[in-house]
Structure 1
Amino acid sequence: MKVETTRVAAPVQLRHAACFFESAEHLLRQALPLVTAALERGEPVALSVRPATERALYAALGGTAGLIGLAEPDAVAYGSGQTMAARRARELRELTGGAVAVTVVAEHNSSLDGFDGRYWTELDAAVNVALGELPVNLTCFYPELPLHLEILEGARANHPLLLEDGELRHNHEHRGPRDVLAAAPAGAPMVLGPPDLVLAYTAWQLHEVRTAVERLAAAASFGASRAEDVVLAINEVATNAVEHGTSEAQVWLWSSAEGLVCEVHDGGTLTEPLPGLRAPHPSEPRGRGVWIARQLCDLLHVWRDGEGTHVRMHAAR
């Protein structure tokens, strides 16, 4: 896979708004004018909403509108808001070409809440980073009374704008992604069973990491091109760990019918809670590794705890 690692310097173009609804009918009344106005302007409209909401929008529009359905989280990406934000950025970059405005309507889905609702806080914070330079008008609809208070608190902290009574207003509770995630850091993913291979390494042993990944990828029947992608992605993250974390790190590897899972663990302190969500600028000679890995993997989730910084990657065949 060819990975483009440069971007053109651009101001923030994302218009990220939250809107709160008390019922399905209330949601439709607020979302429909957004969709109608965008279609009248000739803008593409993309949806990330529940099937019932999508059907209601089509019915209200007479069933003729060409609305675009965005990908929903799958079993691999489940629970990682930062992975979902990276996917959204790729999808919307293709839609916009970096220049054409697109309107996006997104809706809270309680099946993704997890045990505390933190997924949504992580997702919206990551969206502010990953989509910042794209001409996207994104309105996220949240219930006024979700199961978890974290969902409301995260929505109010992450959205620079609020849609109220059909008008966009500045949100005085908005905070930057780093501040938001300092209070509600990304959680650890689901615990896996014992790894097939554990390898401790230093910067001088990165070739051993690459060799181990090559062997497991071959054993998992990866094609040659996909195996190269996986080796590159893991090498980038493994290198980052010993360059910016601690002098020694560990790689844990699992091989299964679904592909390859890798975790990289180091004892360093994570200063950037959402690394690799923005493509590096040509003037930035470093800082490309995690971004490259995000483009090549089906999941890349970064978290920290008292023992250091951790990255899980999943690459399907």
Structure 2
Amino acid sequence: MTAPTAEPFVHPALFYRGEEEYVAGTVPFVREGLEAGEPVAVAVPGPQLDVLRAALGDAAADVRLVDMTQAGRNPARIIPRVLRVFADSHPKKRVRIIGEPIWPDRTGLEYPACAQHEALINYAFEGRDATILCPYDAEGLSEQALTDAYATHPVVISGGRQRSSPSYAPEHVVERYNQPLTTPAGAEGRAFGADELPMARYFVVEQAKRFGLSGVRLEDLALVAAELTTNSVVHGGGAGTVHMWAEGGQVVCEVRDQGRLKDPLAGRRPSPPAQPGGRGLLLVNYLTDLVRVHTGPDGTVIRCYVDR
């Protein structure tokens, strides 16, 4: 995988320090889009959304406003469920989007998925008439997050000045955060093949209940387990193992098999309505609060986190 060309897609990172710089870097971007007749969406954390709503005044009514802490809780669903759904609803127009998927309260567990998301935007929108501006809190985020922003964005705006990134290499970020995932020693596990699929799903549900999951969230995880275990049988060598454990306030379901994910955008492309199948990983991303993936010559691990 090589870095995509930038045009006609434009993907700048905005480094801001404080509310004044945030407003100065985002509000003109929105107003310019509206004046040009471009559909505009803003997907940022709730507090920042309030700031922009107030700064835009009446113009906010013409902007699609999205709380990223909810819509982007799982970074793997931001491309299909936030960015692409907006762009695809305006197929004949250039769209303008502000997307802030990384904020200081993101955990170290979430960050690798966030960095990969920012890298994969460049491939998901290659050739599209779109501009996606990604704000970065230069005071609140780690040095690593800012360094990665240079690698995932071809253009960086800082202090009111715009320049080409000297280290743009999104493919390196995708690979760097393709980190091995070690199953905890105390996790309960089951091996499965085609004949054991019902047993594997029953195991997931019973373990999830034991860890306090119930209601719709339990139903979501049951569906996720069904998709992942079926994928292992169909695409992952005919068998796999599933492990379950509790971690903080989350229930974790992990499926391992001998397959290899060759498409880094698997599960991040909206499926055409007429297409039969092909929605398994997309559904997994929609229904969970975090998905971590490691794939390589020895197989694939998909680890899903669901809030209790």
Q: TM-score scaled by structure 1? A: 0.68
* Gap change, CA 1:265 and 1:89, over 3 Å in 2: same
The one of 118, 121, 130 equivalent to 1:127 is: 121
Tell me the SS of whatever aligns to 1:61.
helix
Instruction: Say yes or no: does 1:105 pair with 2:101.
Output: no
Gaps of 5+ in 1: 1-11
Structure 1 vs Structure 2 CA RMSD: 4.6
Q: How many residues align?
A: 296
In the TM superposition, residue 222 of structure 1 has moved relative to its aligned partner by 4.2
Query: In the aligned structure 1, how far is the partner of 2:250 from the partner of 2:143?
Result: 36
In the TM superposition, residue 272 of structure 1 has moved relative to its aligned partner by 4.6
Paired letter, 1:72: M
Query: In the aligned structure 2, how far is the partner of 1:103 from the partner of 1:32?
Result: 12
Instruction: Say yes or no: does 1:309 pair with 2:300.
Output: yes
Query: In the aligned structure 2, how far is the partner of 1:43 from the partner of 1:166?
Result: 23
Paired residues of 2:289 and 2:305 also in contact (CA < 8 A): yes
Paired residues of 1:274 and 1:302 also in contact (CA < 8 A): no
Tell me the SS of whatever aligns to 1:199.
strand
In the TM superposition, residue 237 of structure 1 has moved relative to its aligned partner by 1.6
Instruction: Say yes or no: does 1:20 pair with 2:15.
Output: yes
Paired residues of 1:298 and 1:313 also in contact (CA < 8 A): yes
Paired residues of 1:28 and 1:53 also in contact (CA < 8 A): no
Tell me the SS of whatever aligns to 1:32.
helix
| 1:34 equivalent in structure 2 | 29
| 2:284 equivalent in structure 1 | 293
Tell me the SS of whatever aligns to 1:142.
strand
Tell me the SS of whatever aligns to 1:124.
helix
| 1:9 equivalent in structure 2 | none
Matches for 1:44-193 after TM superposition, within 5 Å? 44-49=39-44, 53-62=48-57, 64-66=59-61, 67-73=63-69, 83-96=74-87, 97=89, 99=91, 101-107=94-100, 108-112=102-106, 114=108, 118=112, 120-130=114-124, 136-144=130-138, 147-163=141-157, 171=165, 173-176=167-170, 178-185=171-178
| 1:237 equivalent in structure 2 | 228
Matches for 1:175-254 after TM superposition, within 5 Å? 175-176=169-170, 178-185=171-178, 194-195=186-187, 198-213=189-204, 222=215, 227=219, 230-245=221-236, 248-253=239-244
Which stretch shows the higher mean deviation, 159-168 or 139-148? 159-168
Note the alpha carbon deviations across 1:25-70, whole angstroms, 9 max, x for none. Answer: 2332222220111122344433344566445444543455324432
Query: In the aligned structure 2, how far is the partner of 1:148 from the partner of 1:316?
Result: 25
* Gap change, CA 1:255 and 1:169, over 3 Å in 2: closer
* Gap change, CA 1:250 and 1:24, over 3 Å in 2: same
In the TM superposition, residue 212 of structure 1 has moved relative to its aligned partner by 4.0
Query: In the aligned structure 1, how far is the partner of 2:214 from the partner of 2:231?
Result: 27
Which stretch shows the higher mean deviation, 137-146 or 116-125? 116-125
Paired residues of 1:86 and 1:130 also in contact (CA < 8 A): no
Query: In the aligned structure 2, how far is the partner of 1:259 from the partner of 1:143?
Result: 27
Paired letter, 2:119: A
Gaps of 5+ in 2: 1-6
Query: In the aligned structure 1, how far is the partner of 2:56 from the partner of 2:214?
Result: 47
Paired residues of 1:49 and 1:105 also in contact (CA < 8 A): yes
In the TM superposition, residue 109 of structure 1 has moved relative to its aligned partner by 1.8
* Aligned sequence identity (%): 28
In the TM superposition, residue 149 of structure 1 has moved relative to its aligned partner by 2.6
In the TM superposition, residue 248 of structure 1 has moved relative to its aligned partner by 4.0
Q: TM-score scaled by structure 2? A: 0.70
Note the alpha carbon deviations across 1:91-114, whole angstroms, 9 max, x for none. Answer: 344434152544222445212153
Paired residues of 2:256 and 2:300 also in contact (CA < 8 A): yes
Paired residues of 1:45 and 1:103 also in contact (CA < 8 A): yes
Query: In the aligned structure 1, how far is the partner of 2:243 from the partner of 2:167?
Result: 40
Paired residues of 1:85 and 1:130 also in contact (CA < 8 A): no
Note the alpha carbon deviations across 1:254-303, whole angstroms, 9 max, x for none. Answer: 699x9964211235555555532124679999865323433444543323
In the TM superposition, residue 186 of structure 1 has moved relative to its aligned partner by 5.0
Query: In the aligned structure 2, how far is the partner of 1:158 from the partner of 1:180?
Result: 7
The one of 250, 254, 269 equivalent to 1:263 is: 254
